[in-house]
């Protein structure tokens, strides 16, 4: 290739050069990569405000970090296993960093030993540390760093669990057999082997029970400076100061841990404000230009740290490649200093889209993409279309993406309990299955397959009135918790008969849909002249032809709040209202004595431009004031979405389309996989935000992205 002149040149070369496995390990982010993209986009949204006619004939870029002088404030972040990028690995990096006159942070998961890196150069070095369950191992690593002349420990606090990175899971990533994690070679075989397959045994090596008491313990065993790496909230920053750390590295682990946390440059100002000068603050994540470093310093950082660009430099030309990367950063930073002053303004945030999936499903969008290819167009359009232009359909997703998680660190998360109760019934995790009609269009086993998978997962299924399997057949297929979704018919005897069937079948509640006095206008269905395929029937209706001929001839459009006392008079089943979107109706629901409210816009299928459910949730939670349970559906695609909903006051969330995509993929097994992914992602979100139980999930763990633009 031609001579690299910017960091993206090194990136593009690296993408072509190493094995795909290595490239994806280095470059992937957690989940859909929203935070990965935001780490860059957030820098791009910041505008420099240059000043003129100032004497810039002499520019001094030097500064100090923890009292040690560096020639410019762009340092090297810890990145593991650098010999995957170049045979000289960390040795080459250390030499280049020393030559550049800045600081290198050596990863404890390096493929070169602490001692070899130290002897390779005399430059300033920090050591990145994970605290092991075996504290003797941790102490030995610290002693080795001390003897080797390292000046500080960068203690990583945002990895009680390893983030879920789809590319690594698909590739079944392991360290290549000719390499080893060199710093663990002196310990037992279990350590050496364990860290080679990080996903399988990370939890056996790293202490998940860490709390803030770790800091005094570290102070008792070393005099090295202590920097906490992985702080993203003002609350944890204040605790860090309280416990006497020397520095904070604002970091989201290169977006490799918990997706939808804020970009580090977004989180930086609140952390700088919180520490109030009582310790130094640094930043990593997304730095690709000297101007990025300038922006971070303008917002209060002492220095920035770069990770992936160093690996790209290694791939390009080993030590010389890293030296070129650092020189480009240095030149760009100097130019930014010469052409401007430390003054930054921030425009409004934008929205970032998703990533493409691949064949083996590891995330919900993989199932969606498979279903889009597999299902007949008529069926796909019926399942996935929204009302009118689909504005609410899109907003159901985008509104979740605009929320940022605010993770807390150094909380004992060695034991996580995801269980909760809904209407007094225990479920293993707070992600339930919403009612979706005509599931046999997605798979021949339809609702039966779903019921079995939901029972196995230990959560709740809501059976649609418009199901293609009978209430009785679904009930007999599994013993799990079930609710029945009900539209009230003009013929009240039909409604009573349906309720009696649900009662006899052991259903625990009725989810009464109240947002469909008329059917929403869905362009795709109208164009396709959608009808139920002739080989299927709506199994719970005796007069099925009436349903097919016209929905409006069956459903009662004259319903008022008097419906609730009537329902109370005919059943002892608990009553949940599905389709509430306003505080006014929520207060009426409480007044009429319902047991629960399902905040729902019918998956964006009824009235376009109503709010996304996650937007409507807070006002409804506030309106009911704890007098009934509140749930949410629509747009939930990640375990983090469920976490956000619970943080905003929901008791549980319900998912619809993802279950149909799971059915289309592999029937019962497909639904089970979908639910397991949600469960795994939700547990990870809990672990990485410091929550041991759903009761620990609190409102202050979620913020709108606009909070970071003020």
| Cross-strand partners of 262 | none
Name residues whose C-beta falls within 8 Å of residue 543's C-beta, 6 or more positions apart in sequence: none
In this structure, what DSSP letter does residue 3 have? P
Instruction: Return the sign of the alpha-carbon dihedral for residues 468, 470, 471, 476.
Output: negative
Catalytic hit among 13, 443, 602, 704 = 602
What angle do the packed helices 308-339 and 89-100 form, to 10 degrees? Answer: 10
Name residues whose C-beta falls within 8 Å of residue 86's C-beta, 6 or more positions apart in sequence: 92, 314, 315, 318, 321
Q: Are the CB atoms for 117 and 91 separated by under 8 Å? A: yes
Q: What is the dihedral of CA 634, 638, 640, 646, to 10 degrees?
A: 30
Beta strands in 567-694 (DSSP E): 574-580, 596-599, 629-633, 652-655
CB atoms within 10 A of CB 207: 17
In this structure, what DSSP letter does residue 428 have? S
602 is catalytic: yes
| Structure tokens, 180 | 């080893």
As a whole number of Å, the CA-based R_g of the chain is 28
- DSSP notation for 167-182: HHHHHT----TT---G
User: Exposure pattern of 517-534 as b/e (b: 16+ CB <10 Å)?
Assistant: eeebebebbeebeeebee
Distance, in Å, from the CA atom of 307 to the CA atom of 180, rounded to the nearest integer, reads 20
Distance, in Å, from the CA atom of 466 to the CA atom of 538, rounded to the nearest integer, reads 6
Please, what is the end-to-end C-alpha distance for the chain in angstroms? Answer: 42
Strand, helix or coil for residue 559 = coil
User: Exposure pattern of 392-431 as b/e (b: 16+ CB <10 Å)?
Assistant: bbebbbbbbbbbbbbbbbbbebeebebebebbeeebebbb
H or E, element range at 529? none
Q: Are the CB atoms for 588 and 628 separated by under 8 Å? A: no
To which residue do tokens 């404890």 refer? 108
- Going by DSSP bridges, is the β-strand pair 481-486/509-513 parallel, antiparallel, or unpaired? parallel
In this structure, what DSSP letter does residue 366 have? H
Q: What is the dihedral of CA 264, 270, 274, 276, to 10 degrees?
A: 90
| Structure tokens, 139 | 């102490």
| Structure tokens, 303 | 């220095």
Half-sphere exposure of 265 (CA within 13 A, CB side): 32
| Structure tokens, 112 | 């070169």
| Structure tokens, 152 | 């500080």
| Cross-strand partners of 509 | 483, 574
Q: Are the CB atoms for 377 and 528 separated by under 8 Å? A: yes
Distance, in Å, from the CA atom of 203 to the CA atom of 229, rounded to the nearest integer, reads 19
Would you name the residues annotated as active-site residues?
A: 602
């Amino acid at each position: 290739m031609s001579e690299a002149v910017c960091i993206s040149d090194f990136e593009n070369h690296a993408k072509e050069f190493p094995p795909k496995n290595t490239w994806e390990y280095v470059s992937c982010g957690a989940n859909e990569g929203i935070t990965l993209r935001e780490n860059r986009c957030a820098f791009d949204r910041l505008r420099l405000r240059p000043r003129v006619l100032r004497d810039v004939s002499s520019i001094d870029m030097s500064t100090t970090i923890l009292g040690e002088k560096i020639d410019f404030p762009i340092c090297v972040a810890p990145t593991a296993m650098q010999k995957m990028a170049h045979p000289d690995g960390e040795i080459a990096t250390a030499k280049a960093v020393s030559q550049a006159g800045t600081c290198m942070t050596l990863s404890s998961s390096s493929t070169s030993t602490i001692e070899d890196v130290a002897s390779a150069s005399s430059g300033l070095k920090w050591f990145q540390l994970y605290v092991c369950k075996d504290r003797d191992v941790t102490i030995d690593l610290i002693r080795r760093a001390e003897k080797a002349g390292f000046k500080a420990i960068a203690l990583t606090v945002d990895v009680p669990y390893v983030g879920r990175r789809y590319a690594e899971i698909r590739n079944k990533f392991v360290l290549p057999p000719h390499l080893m994690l060199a710093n663990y070679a002196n310990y037992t075989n279990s350590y050496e082997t364990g860290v080679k397959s990080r996903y399988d045994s990370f939890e056996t090596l790293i202490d998940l029970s860490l709390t803030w008491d770790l800091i005094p313990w570290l102070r008792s065993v070393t005099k090295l400076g202590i920097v906490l790496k992985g702080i993203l909230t003002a609350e944890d920053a204040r605790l860090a100061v309280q416990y006497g750390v020397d520095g904070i590295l604002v970091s989201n682990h290169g977006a490799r841990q918990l997706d939808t946390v804020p970009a580090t440059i977004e989180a930086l100002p609140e952390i700088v404000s919180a520490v109030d000068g009582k310790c130094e603050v640094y930043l990593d994540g997304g730095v690709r230009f000297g101007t990025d470093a300038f922006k971070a310093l303008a917002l209060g950082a002492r220095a920035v740290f770069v990770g992936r660009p160093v690996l790209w430099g290694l791939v390009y030309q080993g030590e010389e490649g890293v030296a070129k990367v650092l020189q480009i950063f240095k030149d760009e930073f100097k130019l930014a200093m010469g052409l401007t002053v430390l003054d930054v303004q921030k425009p409004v945030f934008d929205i970032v889209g998703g990533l493409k999936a691949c064949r083996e499903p590891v995330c919900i969008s993989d199932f969606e993409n498979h279903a889009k290819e597999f299902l007949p167009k008529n069926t796909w359009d019926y399942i996935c279309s929204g009302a009118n232009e689909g504005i609410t359909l899109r907003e159901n997703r985008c509104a979740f993406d605009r929320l940022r998680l605010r993770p807390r660190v150094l909380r004992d998360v060695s034991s996580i309990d995801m269980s909760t109760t809904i209407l007094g019934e225990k479920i293993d995790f707070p992600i339930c299955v919403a009612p979706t009609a005509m599931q046999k269009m997605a798979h021949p086993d339809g609702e039966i397959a779903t019921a079995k998978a939901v029972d196995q997962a230990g959560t709740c299924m809501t059976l649609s009135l418009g199901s293609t399997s009978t209430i009785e057949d679904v009930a007999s297929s599994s013993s799990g918790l079930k609710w029945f979704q009900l539209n009230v018919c003009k013929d009240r005897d039909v409604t009573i008969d349906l309720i009696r069937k649900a009662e006899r079948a052991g259903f625990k509640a009725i989810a009464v849909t109240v947002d469909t006095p008329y059917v929403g206008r869905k362009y795709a269905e109208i164009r396709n002249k959608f009808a139920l395929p002739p080989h299927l029937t709506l199994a719970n209706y005796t007069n099925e032809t009436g349903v097919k001929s016209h929905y409006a001839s069956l459903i009662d459009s004259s319903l008022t709040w008097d419906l609730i006392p009537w329902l109370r008079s005919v059943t002892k089943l608990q009553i949940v209202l599905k389709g509430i979107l306003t505080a006014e109706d929520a207060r009426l629901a409480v007044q009429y004595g319902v047991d629960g409210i399902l905040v729902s816009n019918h998956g964006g299928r009824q009235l376009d431009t109503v709010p996304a459910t996650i937007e409507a949730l807070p006002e409804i939670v506030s309106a009911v004031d704890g007098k009934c349970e509140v749930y949410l559906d629509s747009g939930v695609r990640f375990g983090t979405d469920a976490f956000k909903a619970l943080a905003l006051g929901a008791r549980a969330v319900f998912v619809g389309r993802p279950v149909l995509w799971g059915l289309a993929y592999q029937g019962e097994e497909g639904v089970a996989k979908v639910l397991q992914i949600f469960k795994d992602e939700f547990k990870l979100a809990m672990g990485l935000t410091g929550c041991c139980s759903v009761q620990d999930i609190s409102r202050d763990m979620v913020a709108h992205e606009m909070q970071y633009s003020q």
